[in-house]
Structure 1
Amino acid sequence: MRNLLNRLFLGILFLAVQTAWAQIPTPKEHFGFGIGDDYQLATFTQTEAYWKKLAAVSDRLKLTVIGKTAENRDQYMLIVSSPENLKKLDRYKEISTKMARAEGVTEEQARAMAVEGKSIVWIDGGLHATEVVGIHQLIETIYNVVSRNDQETKRILDKVVILFTHANPDGQELVSNWYMREKDPAKRKNDGLPRLYQKYIGHDNNRDFFIQNQVESRNMGNQLFVEWIPQIMYNHHQRGPAGSVLAGPPYRDPFNYVFDPMMVTGIDAVGAAMYTRLNAENKPGFTRLTGSSFSTWYNGGLRTTTHFHNMIGILTEIIGGPTPETVPLVPERLIPNNNTPFPVTPQKTWHFKQSIDYSVSLNYSILDYAARNSDHLLYNIYLMGNNSIKRGSGDYWTPTPKRVEEINVAYKADQAKTRPRGGETPGSGATGMFRGGGEIPSKYYNDVFELPAKRDPRGYIIPSDQSDFPTAVKFINALVRTGIQIEKSTAVFTVAGKSYPAGSYIVKTAQAFRPHIMDMFEPQDYPNDFQYPGGPPVRPYDAAGWTLAFQMGIKFDRILEAFDGPFEKMPYGQLQLPVGKVASGSAGYVIKASVNDAFVAVNDLLKAGAEVYRLADGTFYIPQSAKSKSIVEKTSKELGMQIGAVGKKPGGTLQKVAPLRVALWDTYGGSMPSGWVRWMLEQYHFPFSLIYAKEIDASDLKSKYDVIVFVTRAISAPSSRDSVMNAMFAGRGPKEEEVPEEFRSTMGSITAAKSIPQLKKFMEAGGKILTIGSSTGLAYHLGLPVRNAITEVKKDGGSEPLQGEKFFIPGSLLSVSVDTAARASWGMSPKTDVYFDNSPVFTVSPDAIANGTIKPLAWFPNASPLRSGWAWGQAYLQGGVAAFEANVGKGKLYAFGPEITFRSQSHGTFKWLFNQLY
């Protein structure tokens, strides 16, 4: 009888388990196809519905909304763990953040929390929506983790809290619908998307994470840097290098010198778990190190910004898609080496499902590693944070190539002084330098490298009395969003003999996320990197230098000694707003031209019909009225602006400000630089229209517009291929008849034959054209007396552009001198940092300057303008013109070689755009 009851009980239990299992719908049951089936993509609408189904039936999953997207969809993060862990999420989140910040946590407490806590692992998908493996592997992995009951999955659920995050819902909806629009699967393709898959910035949504301009970046950044601070984050991308299946960790040099070494070796450890699992499962084709172009130098990516927060940030780039493809033959990748231990052989057909299976295996490898090493991961992130606090609390020197070179220079100088007349270098025993190059006496480390004046700062002070304090607070909020502890002075204080006003901000470096603080304030020093000595340069992965404080034009002081004062610590994640104030004056109000937010106020005033004028130095004057008073007070309160007042109307010439009809160039498929400017113009309340090549070619532009803005890559300089200057979409993409009617007007490219004459006619009739970056090539098409300054004379007496072996400046910050008296430069600083990416530089005819045809606005005054990044051959820049304005008929051309609107980070140069829009 007892055996019968036992069998009955087991039978009931089995049925209960089977019933519970049956409650978890498979992807095929929901979508109508399996994830990874050829020619099938899931939309976000379908995915959202599936996740809601899973949340309703699974006790392993908590569905959360972390915010809204740019197109107002819900952005989801699915928290997956054991039912027991989900009941204690608040505690595990508390442990994770305490360990990461390492504040006031003793060694004993850290070890106890490492045992008690659960490792937190972030896995995302879909950031770059055309890389469709990303979101589909996320769907498949979530299904596996909530439905499987094998021992590995149970161990993962017990020891790990997983944050599965959808990085770009809007993009998934657009891309999947575009692909699936064809009924015939054989005709399905993702080529020729009609617009950007993130409303404003498309692919650049992975370049937004140290400033977090976009709402999706802010949603994810808040979870990563404030709410959870995971120990591992995994960012899925495409595509792998030709002849491989995927690229992954560890990555090639250089890594950023501010990192804790445990973060770098942590990447190595997780990477080993990943490719070892693939090898064990007979999944070849994983390449690493110099097998791909990916490094850990850059900050700003979804993955890379986590590196500066002591997180083990993982990136993979995999092949594959719903339309079957091939693995091509690349002979040099067939030989196993340290980059690719297990090469993949050429394959005629590679199916979507293979990429999904690889991705699920990679996810499980990371989750299994985190489960087996949960206590180590928690304790190690504590150690890294504690190391950062110690470095920020004492004297520390971050090693960089320039600092190391100072040792070599000093040593060689001393050797030259002491070398015998015969020229032979004397030996110096065990501490000396070997004749072939070797040891240098250690005193050079102590006397040169560890110079007290060159040690890292203990903190930074951002005075509240700087000319554009609202922009400084935007910088502070970028730090806040990335989890940095901010302090604010409650009274006047003095540090190092200098007095600072109340309301100033203080950022101390004795924090766990010190690497990120240093990276936002200090210059990056990218090493000289060439394919071989004297050979061409190796381009960095994205930018070489980006120091955000420099880009935004922030005034700050580096403090080398420990300091304190009447400082109040701001809660983590609490955004700051300066206190606005409107002065009293019977005649009206004045706003300094140096304040970027002044343009918000002016645009709101103009929209309301209020009068606005500019004084001779660019200051805005707003006559007193009930209408202007209301708007000025509202703007001051909302933006924290200090607005002055006058008791009588200012003397001198007043220029009335009127809104202009502004057109911003864009192209079919969407331009990211144009999208960034579109976002900027909306933020600063400028009215504008988008203009495309067809309209430029076909219409009387001056009857509709006063200003046309061309961003980089809209126009290029004349060449043998100048019949089509916007080459981004020329000769590829869909045919017009394949495109929905609503997008056909956006097709076409700027051409020399049709577009240039219309643009010239527009300026001659009084229009203004503003060009940025490569679009300054319009100056050559117009025949203006300027030429490329970065050239050398050939043997035949002609000239040619300098090759990369002599001149190469990839994505870096340079200092220029600015003509601040020029109307175009009102409000700018005399010395301004600009973002330069092998940008145009001009030599202007002296006669053109003398007769007023061309007016230089910015130039390189010396041979060493580099502020942050890498500038090989920068001496060639000396005397070169970075920006100018030119008269063309009744109108003007404005040419800005540097990227003055770069990713909406370069606030210090925004006024070069804004000043031209009135």
Structure 2
Amino acid sequence: MHPARLMLGAVCLLTAHLLGGAAAAQDDWVPGSSYSDVPTIEDVLGFKPIERFTSFYETEKLLHRWAEVSDRAKLITYGEDYEGKKLYMLVVSSPENLAALDTHLANLGKLTDPRKLGAGELDSIVANTPATVMISTIDTSEASSVEAMQIVAYQLLAGTDARTLRILDNVLTYIIPVENPSPRERYVSWYHTARSRIPKADPNAAEHNPPWGVGNDSNHYQLDPNRDMVPLKMREGRAKVELIRRWRPELALDIHEMGAESTFFFPPYPEPYNTNLPNDTLKKWWEIYAKDMREQFDARGWRYFSGDSFGSPFLGMHTLYTQYHGMIGILFEQAAGSGGLVLERKNGSLLTLRDRVQHHVTGIMSYLDTTVAKRQELHRDFQEFFQSSMDGVPGVQQKAYAFPPDDDPNKMSQFIDSLLAHGIEVQRTSEPFSVGRASGYFSNEPERHAFPAGTYIVSLKQPLSRLANALLEKEPYHSIPVFYDISVWALPYQYGIDGYWMNDVPHVAMESVSEPPSPKGEVAGGKAGFAYVWPYRGALDAAAAYRLAESGVNLYLHPGPATVAGTSYDAAFIAPVDENDESIHNLMRAVVEDVPVRIEAVSTGHAADGSDLGSGLLQPVGKPAVAVLTREGTDTTAWGSFYFFFDEMYHLPFTPIAVPELAEVDLQRYNTIIIPDGGQSVRDGEIRGKPYEWYFREEGTQHLREWVERGGTLITVKGGTAFASADGGGLTSTQSLGVTQKTPGAIVRVETRGRSPLTTGYPDTFHVLSRNTRLFSAGESGRSVLSYVDAEGLNVAGYLLDDDSARLATTDFLMTENIGQGRVIMFGEDPNLRNQWTHLHQLLFNAILFGPLVR
């Protein structure tokens, strides 16, 4: 036989095994079905389901084709990702339901706001409105999920059997097959280049081992949108919440994959639960849906589990977040491992893509069947979620939160913007008021407190009171010390906002807030005769300084306090006219068009209080030339946090440098290099993996050391600091002291150790996040800039073991050490975790802008 024919025969035999022979037919995915002439997946894309992975662009083509030809479909574009890929939702139901879509959505809106529900309307809405089910996954590199949703979509679009028609008549099904396009496209593109003609089951094969940055669930910026649902910093999460608020799903199916040695998970979830939720109602529905699911899997002999994993009160993930909008949030987790078309497990059995997809399809159809059977009960419990929220969260004493105006208007603007993006109702007082008992985020006991006019109020007497309290409460209650991610996430801590809660809504004149406060950038006073001055109160003030310095403007930091031209400053940036050319005036006007800072044009260098603008106490701010290490060795999320920080949040130039290229790069082009967290990782009190020095190699480490000695500023974070320590790459005398046992995101206090430009803008004591913390202490040649406070005053909120408190209290958060003409600035913990802790962004700007000032 000809070798090519022999090879083709082998490929066909294996493909038949993987696809189950004729089992790729649609009626085998959903037995007992019949179909119309709606184009199949093969008709549109040229290949059968599970023969290969579907790219984002192929899914996009499929959705558009189906929407064009089917009267059961409506295609919604609800946003786009950072690479310009559209975010699509396919609405599938009967033609009659789609024709009455606006009426159905209006009625669902009444269920979510009891103030809009007229007398006697509830029964009619319950009887005549289809249920709403959202099927999606944010983790689109978990590859079987997308394939399964496409098969379910075709089933609903083309099915003519009684089962499918019942679902169409009773359910509006919202299918979001590619909610996060970037990781999907990265994974599928890579897999097509890595796979062999004959798929490899060997877990060591290249097709099961994606490179750095591929095969994870992170977006363009290598940040995971499935951890962003508290601050809503990213496009994907914001678009999802807008979609939820418009389309009002009642059941959310979140389709995922997990390790290959597992089976299939579906709820019930175990403890801990978030006490803001109606957990008895949720448990009831988890059991209702699980009943048919178990029967379906039992009939096929498929292994599964529930009730002993994936329990968490954390609302930053999509599945759990949906429950705060009244939905029954359901997580499917299918065994998959590294994916591929087929994978050999440790016991020798094969896990195929067909297996994975079939389990998901069967599970989704089961949940749709149960929704049909329980449609009216689902409506009533959905409405009760919001009805029961109107007088506060049941079982929760506080009824309102109050947030006084902040010295940094941009920080307050971002905080209010996050609340409004969630759909939280916010009001602003028009007069001062006081309350007899108010508890604060940084106080231990309630006390009388006076609030100024302009204070923002979040009443818990609103439809989304459960969500509001979950976002704002100091810390959630954990019935058992089990944490899927972090133990505390209150938005005021993330933004550094001062706030209070009270047991009654204050009686004071208030107005509704529909938009966040929008500080405008401006140059006040026209063309400066002496200097341009602006306060350093927050990160955006520093971002303006970065841009101007990078454009060649000569700047100084005035450490303050000072009063210049009638304005008082704690710290300020100064741009003297006589040390810059005429372009400074246009540059100032240009920067405030994009950065909302207020710059004063002054005609005097005299300070009525404090040092004059020509004083030697002012320190020069050099032109930043920043590089950030990336690729192999760096933690993808830590790198992504810096990527987002520079590129998306503050729009600042920087250069990514791949770690493998470090030894060959001309580092003299840069005056600042940042090493994000990476190298070894910390988990469950253990350090795992290879250290940074393994990735840098001896020549890379030496190259970096010589650059620092010649005057460079090296900024290291966590694993990067381990590299800089005496026990790592040996750049400094910093002592690496191991790790904490279990710190799943506690908020703790640090304190300054003397005056330093690195702490400009911060009080002597403030809060940071401690998570899976590595422990460091400044060495004999270094200096501690920020240290953790004593154990008894350390923990502000979150879970922290006594032993970990004692260990943290003897260590440093921020250290410096001079090396030759340069210096190393070392963070023991990541101040930029997921780019969510805006409160700490000033520390990063201080390190970048003022690094050369460190002595």
Scaled by the length of structure 1, the TM-score of the pair is: 0.77
CA deviations over 1:726-746 (Å, ceiling 9, x no partner): 49xx8xxxxxxxxxxxxxxxx
User: Match of 1:314, SS?
Assistant: strand
Instruction: Report the Cα offset of residue 722 of structure 1.
Output: 11
Q: How high is the sequence identity, in percent, across the aligned residues?
A: 22
Match of 2:431 among 480, 484, 492: 492
Match of 2:236 among 196, 216, 236: 216
Match of 1:58 in 2: 70
Match of 2:145 in 1: 134
Q: How far apart, in 2, do the equivalents of 1:467 and 1:376 lie?
A: 49
After TM superposition, the structure 1 = structure 2 runs for residues 670-689 of structure 1, keeping only pairs within 5 Å, are 671-682=636-647, 683-689=649-655
Q: How far apart, in 2, do the equivalents of 1:762 and 1:716 lie?
A: 26
After TM superposition, the structure 1 = structure 2 runs for residues 826-845 of structure 1, keeping only pairs within 5 Å, are 826-844=760-778
Q: Match for 2:166: what amino acid?
A: R
| CA spacing shift, 1:104–1:30, aligned 2, 3 Å | closer
Higher mean displacement: 631-640 or 95-104: 631-640
Q: How far apart, in 2, do the equivalents of 1:770 and 1:554 lie?
A: 27
Q: How far apart, in 2, do the equivalents of 1:266 and 1:627 lie?
A: 68
Q: Match for 1:318: what amino acid?
A: Q
Match of 1:467 in 2: 407
Match of 2:703 in 1: 758
Asked whether the 8 Å contact 1:82–1:158 carries over to 2, the reply is yes
Match of 2:604 among 648, 652, 676: 648
Match of 1:705 in 2: 670
Instruction: Report the Cα offset of residue 207 of structure 1.
Output: 0.8
Match of 1:95 among 104, 107, 131: 107
Q: How far apart, in 2, do the equivalents of 1:57 and 1:885 lie?
A: 65
Asked whether the 8 Å contact 1:462–1:557 carries over to 2, the reply is yes
Task: Say what the alpha-carbon RMSD is for the aligned residues.
Answer: 3.1
User: Match of 1:690, SS?
Assistant: strand
Match of 1:261 among 257, 279, 296: 279
| Gap runs ≥5 in structure 2 | 1-33, 201-205, 436-447, 561-570, 606-611, 850-855
User: Match of 2:271, SS?
Assistant: strand
Instruction: Report the Cα offset of residue 854 of structure 1.
Output: 1.5
After TM superposition, the structure 1 = structure 2 runs for residues 856-875 of structure 1, keeping only pairs within 5 Å, are 856-873=785-802, 874-875=805-806
Instruction: Report the Cα offset of residue 53 of structure 1.
Output: 1.1
Higher mean displacement: 706-715 or 854-863: 854-863
Match of 2:248 in 1: 229
Q: How far apart, in 2, do the equivalents of 1:824 and 1:840 lie?
A: 21
Q: Match for 1:622: what amino acid?
A: A
Q: Match for 2:651: what amino acid?
A: H
Match of 2:559 among 599, 606, 616: 616
Q: How far apart, in 1, do the equivalents of 2:188 and 2:633 lie?
A: 15
Match of 1:428 in 2: none
Match of 2:720 in 1: 775
CA deviations over 1:135-191 (Å, ceiling 9, x no partner): 111111101111112222112111111111121222222222221225624367252
Asked whether the 8 Å contact 1:273–1:366 carries over to 2, the reply is no
Q: Match for 2:835: what amino acid?
A: S
Match of 1:662 in 2: 626
1:73 pairs with 2:85: yes
Instruction: Report the Cα offset of residue 34 of structure 1.
Output: 1.9
Instruction: Report the Cα offset of residue 327 of structure 1.
Output: 5.2
Match of 1:570 among 513, 521, 546: 513
After TM superposition, the structure 1 = structure 2 runs for residues 468-867 of structure 1, keeping only pairs within 5 Å, are 468-489=408-429, 491-496=430-435, 500-525=451-476, 527=478, 529=480, 540-571=483-514, 574=515, 576-578=517-519, 583-584=524-525, 586=528, 587-617=530-560, 618-623=571-576, 632=588, 640-644=596-600, 646-649=602-605, 650-651=612-613, 652=615, 653-668=617-632, 671-682=636-647, 683-701=649-667, 703-714=668-679, 724-726=690-692, 749-751=695-697, 753-777=698-722, 778-780=724-726, 781=728, 782=730, 784-788=732-736, 804=741, 808-818=742-752, 821-844=755-778, 848=781, 853-867=782-796
Q: How far apart, in 2, do the equivalents of 1:721 and 1:45 lie?
A: 40
Instruction: Report the Cα offset of residue 78 of structure 1.
Output: 0.6
Q: Match for 1:757: what amino acid?
A: Q
Q: Match for 1:810: what amino acid?
A: P
Match of 2:335 in 1: 319
Match of 2:40 in 1: 26
User: Match of 2:391, SS?
Assistant: helix
| CA spacing shift, 1:516–1:195, aligned 2, 3 Å | same
Instruction: Report the Cα offset of residue 251 of structure 1.
Output: 1.4
| CA spacing shift, 1:67–1:723, aligned 2, 3 Å | closer
Asked whether the 8 Å contact 2:274–2:478 carries over to 1, the reply is no
| CA spacing shift, 1:215–1:252, aligned 2, 3 Å | same
Instruction: Report the Cα offset of residue 249 of structure 1.
Output: 0.8
| CA spacing shift, 1:868–1:266, aligned 2, 3 Å | farther
Higher mean displacement: 258-267 or 297-306: 258-267
Match of 1:905 in 2: 836
Higher mean displacement: 276-285 or 887-896: 276-285
- Number of equivalent positions: 761
User: Match of 1:209, SS?
Assistant: coil
Asked whether the 8 Å contact 1:275–1:286 carries over to 2, the reply is no
Instruction: Report the Cα offset of residue 834 of structure 1.
Output: 1.3
Instruction: Report the Cα offset of residue 297 of structure 1.
Output: 1.5
1:282 pairs with 2:300: yes
Q: Match for 1:654: what amino acid?
A: L
Q: How far apart, in 2, do the equivalents of 1:872 and 1:575 lie?
A: 38
User: Match of 2:330, SS?
Assistant: strand
Match of 1:192 among 203, 210, 214: 210
Asked whether the 8 Å contact 1:525–1:870 carries over to 2, the reply is no
Q: How far apart, in 1, do the equivalents of 2:510 and 2:198 lie?
A: 64
User: Match of 2:392, SS?
Assistant: helix
Match of 1:155 in 2: 166
Q: How far apart, in 1, do the equivalents of 2:582 and 2:114 lie?
A: 53
Asked whether the 8 Å contact 1:548–1:905 carries over to 2, the reply is no
Higher mean displacement: 608-617 or 808-817: 608-617
| CA spacing shift, 1:353–1:834, aligned 2, 3 Å | same
Asked whether the 8 Å contact 2:784–2:812 carries over to 1, the reply is no
Asked whether the 8 Å contact 2:495–2:837 carries over to 1, the reply is yes
Instruction: Report the Cα offset of residue 302 of structure 1.
Output: 1.5
After TM superposition, the structure 1 = structure 2 runs for residues 93-132 of structure 1, keeping only pairs within 5 Å, are 93-105=105-117, 108-125=120-137, 127-132=138-143
| CA spacing shift, 1:842–1:326, aligned 2, 3 Å | closer
| Gap runs ≥5 in structure 1 | 1-19, 330-346, 399-454, 531-537, 731-748, 791-800
Match of 2:55 among 8, 25, 43: 43
| CA spacing shift, 1:517–1:819, aligned 2, 3 Å | farther
Q: How far apart, in 2, do the equivalents of 1:483 and 1:561 lie?
A: 21
Q: Match for 2:829: what amino acid?
A: P
Scaled by the length of structure 2, the TM-score of the pair is: 0.83
Q: How far apart, in 1, do the equivalents of 2:586 and 2:510 lie?
A: 34
Asked whether the 8 Å contact 2:182–2:220 carries over to 1, the reply is no
Asked whether the 8 Å contact 1:36–1:136 carries over to 2, the reply is yes
| CA spacing shift, 1:916–1:380, aligned 2, 3 Å | same
User: Match of 2:172, SS?
Assistant: strand
CA deviations over 1:259-312 (Å, ceiling 9, x no partner): 22245325523541453343354242111122x3x1132121111211233321
Asked whether the 8 Å contact 1:200–1:672 carries over to 2, the reply is no
Q: How far apart, in 2, do the equivalents of 1:81 and 1:606 lie?
A: 57
Match of 2:373 in 1: 372
Instruction: Report the Cα offset of residue 48 of structure 1.
Output: 1.1
Q: Match for 1:872: what amino acid?
A: L
| CA spacing shift, 1:550–1:194, aligned 2, 3 Å | closer
